[in-house]
Amino acid sequence: MTVPANLLLLAGTREARMLAGALKDQGRWRVTASLAGVTSEPVDLAVETRRGGFGGVDGLVRYLQDNRFSAVVDATHPFAAQMSSNAAQACRRLELPLLRLERPAWSQPGRTGWLDVQDTDTAAAALPPGARAFLTVGGNSLEPFRCRGDVWFLIRTLEAIPGGFPFAQGTFVHGMPGTEAEVEAALMQEHGISHLVTKNAGGPAYAKVEAAVSLNIRTIMIARPQLPPAEIAGDVAAAMVWLEAL
Ligand code: NAP
């Protein structure tokens, strides 16, 4: 009987949960999932799960060595650039196989009212005075918008923002992105939204973009950060194939 090899799954996305479930059923790997620990009530991953940072690249190298991991799958969010960079450096140092599970980005080539920007600073600057913006960039990326006292904001974050509403004008809602365009459209209409500002996360949160398109609401799409080169799988099935081949 072969002993399952140890796999570290850097989680924090729906795809990470799906991969954890598929690997558990397959039984070939002993999977440890890792969460940053930023969500107070994370969805159960169905495999052994640790929480919290590793302590940078050196900490991750130590953790991988101490627990005899044979491979790493980085299924963190496409904007979790620090973790992805740390994983790439640690795996290079230990010569461990690393796969990044990265869902394809959204695109609307040539669509009127769609503006691709490089970062949150550019997104904040692109909003016209008097705009009513729906901001779905995550609680950690609000700072660049603080200077826009001339814009009304509807902010959606997973968790409540400590200290209350952070801007001069607007309100917030908490919870997961809606998965139905009609629901997202109703929310935007209720608040008279003129601009959607969002990160190009890819994946199922596209309903808000569909809703914006249907209502002719302008979309400011923040591009993904540059990540170190790695082997990439676009979905869970491709990640399973990669793992199978190891
Ligand atoms: P980040 O900036 O790339 O990472 C900051 C630090 O948090 C890392 O250096 C690491 O600490 C720790 N960390 C991040 N992901 C971890 C994981 N899966 N397991 C253990 N430690 C982790 O990440 P972030 O943007 O703050 O995102 C944090 C988590 O939320 C990620 O797992 C990500 O998938 C998820 N998320 C992020 C976004 C987003 O827009 N950024 C959206 C949805 C979900 P050490 O250096 O101490 O190891």
pLDDT at 3: 75
pLDDT tens, 90-147? Answer: 999 999 999 999 999 998 766 789 999 999 999 999 999 999 999 999 999 999 999 9
Pocket lining: 215 vs ligand 1, CB cutoff 6 Å = no
- Buried b vs exposed e over 140-170: b needs ≥16 C-beta within 10 Å? ebbeebeebeebbbbbbbeeeeeeeebbeeb
Mean predicted confidence (pLDDT) in 156-173:
91
Can you tell me which atom of ligand 1 is nearest the CA of 34?
19
pLDDT tens, 4-52? Answer: 899 999 999 999 999 999 999 988 999 999 999 988 888 899 999 999 9
- One-character DSSP codes across 26-50: H-SEEEEEEE-S-SSSPPP-SSEEE
pLDDT tens, 168-226? Answer: 999 999 988 889 999 999 999 999 999 999 999 998 889 999 999 999 999 999 999 99
Pocket lining: 77 vs ligand 1, CB cutoff 6 Å = yes
Can you tell me which atom of ligand 1 is nearest the CA of 56?
46
pLDDT of 161 over the 90 cut: no
Give 68's pLDDT tier (boundaries 50, 70, 90).
very high
Give 1's pLDDT tier (boundaries 50, 70, 90).
low
Pocket lining: 76 vs ligand 1, CB cutoff 6 Å = yes
pLDDT at 74: 98
pLDDT at 203: 85
Pocket lining: 86 vs ligand 1, CB cutoff 6 Å = yes
